[in-house]
Amino acid sequence: MIELSTSLSSLGDLRDSDLGPYDAVYLGNLFCSRYAGNLLERPAELAEAIRIVRGQGKRARLTTYAAVRTGGLATLRRALAAAAAAGAEAVEVHALGVIALAREEAPGLALHVGGFANVYTDLGAAVLRELGVARIAPAAELTLEEAHAMARAAGVPLELVVHGKVPLGISDTCLLLPHEAAWGVRCPDLCRRDVFLRREEWTLKSVGTGVLGGLDLCLLEHLPDLLAAGHRHFRVETLSETPAYRREVGGVYRAALERAAAGDAALDPDWWATLRRHARVGLANGFAFGRSGMEYVAAATPRPVPLA
Amino acid sequence: MLALLAPAGSPDAIAAALDAGADAVYVGLKGWSRGGARGEVDWAELRAAARRTAAHGAELQVALNTIPPPAERERLLAAVPRLLDLGLRTLIVNDLGILAALRARHPALRLTASIGCGALSAADVAFFRDRGAAAVVLPATLDPAEAAACVAVGGITVEVMCHMVEEYVLLGRCAMPSYVHLKPTALPGGLPDALRQTGSMKRGGVGACFRICQQPWRLEAADGYTAAQRFPARQLSRLAEVPGYLAAGVGVLKLQGRSLPPEALAPLVARYRRAIDAARAGQPVEAAGEPALPVQWTVVGR
């Protein structure tokens, strides 16, 4: 059973989004408690969001902060309890200590471990499997071959990000706050704007307390290989993107996955046009192939264009 | 008992740290430590260091804090019995899987979850305790009250990296360098197929991280706002908080900087030695006024 998931931060984001292409949604902003409408900080809105997602026949999941101090644990406990009561299906943990909180507050939720947890090896994945973790998003720097090997050796299904900005770092400090006066934009609106950092040919995207790659990770033409390797859980990362991006890019991947699952590797030219239109800087997938994250590696066998 | 754990990246630095009053010294073993070759010692230097620290009544710890891919992992694990033969009992590791593997193979080994493991809360501390870590390192961004909450977990020694550089990205959570440049590099003395991913802060170990965060960037917003942008970094010194950490029950104050030259390391260690001794005696800690350290080591030369 192939699954395509995505992410969003707030009830407003959810109401503006068409989740049609997706099977599951991770709710909450993992970067900052001050993000406008962050569902992690609003249990009642989180419950409402879960009801909306479930009402659309989708699986609702809670994400949690990528870096959380002791003082923030109580907030996560409240979010976990609210998510469990509202019928969420799973919780995604990035700070490993939150696994125990999830067990205590929401024992019925499946445990997923997210990309900021730094799961680099099959040994680490095996430890998490013994703790009852049902799914792992491996560290972004891993190659696909390493991910395949991790899944085989550890026996834990992986969730692979197939499209979206690559998470590169999490911070205690907001990069955007010092710009409030000069920019004339205030928190919490700062990180809702598209902000890129450029230096010569390098591009990053800032979300205030997080740094993402500026290029969009794109594994569209590698989907047949991912399916052949046994992966079934895929994610289009849209936490910092618009509802249009969420709908249209998700639509491309839904169609491409269905076609690949049917044994057809052909890629529709319109799909590329959609992805390029939404990628403000460009496409990349270098980490997946042992290259720098900004490079793009094409499929070894060019994917055909479908017959008209 | 609050101990002072000092860094050292050379035989001269080890001597300087011990002479300045360190209770323990940590070193990187060539090829296996995060931070690069400039701050590592080879096996011969490690043997000499073990003898020297023992003669001082101090402890020598070894950081094995890169995350080797499976092909290299057995080489790392095979090195551990040699470390035990030298009398070493504490290793600093950076990966949950390596921690678990070493715990299973060497029950008597004392394992520290490095600052790169990313522990920030009492819940994280409990997680690493339950996985077999004897100690966990927290960043100096946690004040004594937060450290006390972590100490209250119990059953694990809490260390605080009380003198460090706070970079924009949290330690252990950065993939910026490898995003722009990744260079497979042969492991010193290693197998032909055992390549380090220089540029990866988690899997590197033989060179620089390319200092992405030290570069001048241009911030560009979609609405046309632009500005010069540097990633903030600052040197954090918690000298004035030493009594607070002592009262919190912190077990170890750790200093960052394996690539510090002996002439910079010695006064730093001596200053924290005096602060710990004063705090233990209930006397005031000297005013801060930390000497500035060279920028070159502060961000990438740890």
Question: pLDDT by residue (tens digit) across A93-132?
Answer: 999 999 999 999 999 999 999 999 999 999 999 999 999 9
Tally Cβ neighbours within 10 Å of residue B190: 16
Residue B289: Cβ-neighbour burial (10 angstroms; 0-12, 13-18, 19+):
exposed
Q: Would you call A95 and B181 a contact, using CB atoms and an 8 Å cutoff?
A: no
Is residue A60 within 8 Å of residue A27, measured between CB atoms? yes
- Give the separation between CA A208 and CA A191, rounded to whole angstroms: 6
**Alpha-helix runs per DSSP H in chain A:** 11-16, 43-55, 73-86, 98-105, 122-130, 144-154, 180-183, 223-228, 243-261, 269-278
Q: ∠ CA(B162), CA(B167), CA(B172), 5° rounding?
A: 85
- pLDDT band for position B223 (50/70/90)? very high
Chain B contacts of A101, Cβ < 8 Å? 123
Residues 6+ apart with CB under 8 A from B107: none
Q: Shortest CA distance to B90 belongs to which of B35, B24, B7?
A: B24
- Give the separation between CA A241 and CA A8, rounded to whole angstroms: 9
Q: What is the CA radius of gyration of chain A?
A: 19
Give the chain A residue nearest B220 (alpha carbons): A196
**Residue B244 reports pLDDT greater than 90:** yes
Q: Would you call A202 and B180 a contact, using CB atoms and an 8 Å cutoff?
A: yes
Torsion angle, CA of A182/A183/A184/A185, rounded to 10 degrees? Answer: -140
Q: Please report the pLDDT score of residue B298 as a whole number.
A: 47
Which of A146, A171, A177, A194 should be substituted to probe chain B, the one whose Cβ sees the most B Cβ atoms within 10 Å? A171
Q: How far is A306 from chain B (nearest CA, A)?
A: 33
- Give the separation between CA B290 and CA A28, rounded to whole angstroms: 41
- Give the pair of three-digit tokens for residue A165: 């900005």
**Residue A84 reports pLDDT greater than 90:** yes
Is residue A164 within 8 Å of residue A140, measured between CB atoms? no
% of residues, chain B, pLDDT over 70: 87
More confident residue, A92 or B77: A92
CATH topology of domain A3-163+216-265: TIM Barrel (3.20.20)
Q: Which residues pair with B226 in a beta bridge?
A: B220
Q: Please report the pLDDT score of residue B286 as a whole number.
A: 78
Tell whether A95 lies on the interface with B, counting CB pairs under 8 A. yes
Tell whether B277 lies on the interface with A, counting CB pairs under 8 A. no
- Give the separation between CA B124 and CA A65, rounded to whole angstroms: 13
- Across the range B55-84, mean pLDDT stands at 90
Tell whether A69 lies on the interface with B, counting CB pairs under 8 A. yes
More confident residue, B225 or B264: B225
pLDDT tens digits for range A124-183: 999 999 999 999 999 999 999 999 999 999 999 999 999 999 999 999 999 999 999 999
Tell whether A100 lies on the interface with B, counting CB pairs under 8 A. yes
Tell whether B146 lies on the interface with A, counting CB pairs under 8 A. yes
Tell whether B74 lies on the interface with A, counting CB pairs under 8 A. no
Is residue B70 within 8 Å of residue A149, measured between CB atoms? yes
Backbone angles phi, psi at B190, to 5 degrees: -95, -175
- Give the pair of three-digit tokens for residue B65: 């804090």
**Residue B301 reports pLDDT greater than 50:** no
CA distances from B262 to B11, B15, B33, B63 (A): 9, 8, 20, 19
- Give the pair of three-digit tokens for residue B40: 């590592």
- pLDDT band for position A303 (50/70/90)? confident
Q: Please report the pLDDT score of residue B75 as a whole number.
A: 84
Residue A304: Cβ-neighbour burial (10 angstroms; 0-12, 13-18, 19+):
exposed
Tell whether A216 lies on the interface with B, counting CB pairs under 8 A. no
Q: Shortest CA distance to B106 belongs to which of B67, B85, B130, B80?
A: B80
Q: Which CATH architecture has domain B3-168+234-300?
A: Alpha-Beta Barrel (3.20)
Q: Which of A68, A171, A185 sits opposite B168 (nearest CB)?
A: A171
Helix or strand or coil: residue B121? coil
Q: What is the CA radius of gyration of chain B?
A: 19
Pairing of strands A59-63, A90-93: parallel
- Across the range A224-250, mean pLDDT stands at 97
Q: Please report the pLDDT score of residue B192 as a whole number.
A: 58
Hey, what amino acid is at B23? D
Q: Where are the beta strands (DSSP E) in A48-173?
A: 59-63, 90-93, 110-113, 133-136, 159-170
Q: Please report the pLDDT score of residue A78 as a whole number.
A: 98
Q: What is the pTM of this model?
A: 0.95
- Give the pair of three-digit tokens for residue A9: 């931060």
Tally Cβ neighbours within 10 Å of residue B293: 19
Q: Which of B95, B131, B220 sits opposite A120 (nearest CB)?
A: B95
Q: Shortest CA distance to B260 belongs to which of B3, B20, B68?
A: B20
- pLDDT band for position B208 (50/70/90)? low
Q: Would you call A292 and B182 a contact, using CB atoms and an 8 Å cutoff?
A: yes
Q: Please report the pLDDT score of residue B30 as a whole number.
A: 81
**How many interchain CB pairs under 8 A, A with B?**
197
**Residue B195 reports pLDDT greater than 70:** no
Q: Please report the pLDDT score of residue B167 as a whole number.
A: 86
Q: Shortest CA distance to A115 belongs to which of A92, A82, A146?
A: A92
**Residue B296 reports pLDDT greater than 60:** no
More confident residue, B34 or B251: B251
**Residue B184 reports pLDDT greater than 80:** no
Is residue B220 within 8 Å of residue B226, measured between CB atoms? yes
Tell whether A127 lies on the interface with B, counting CB pairs under 8 A. yes
Give the chain A residue nearest B151 (alpha carbons): A70
pLDDT tens digits for range B125-163: 999 999 999 999 999 999 999 999 999 999 999 999 999
Hey, what amino acid is at A264? D
- pLDDT band for position B33 (50/70/90)? confident
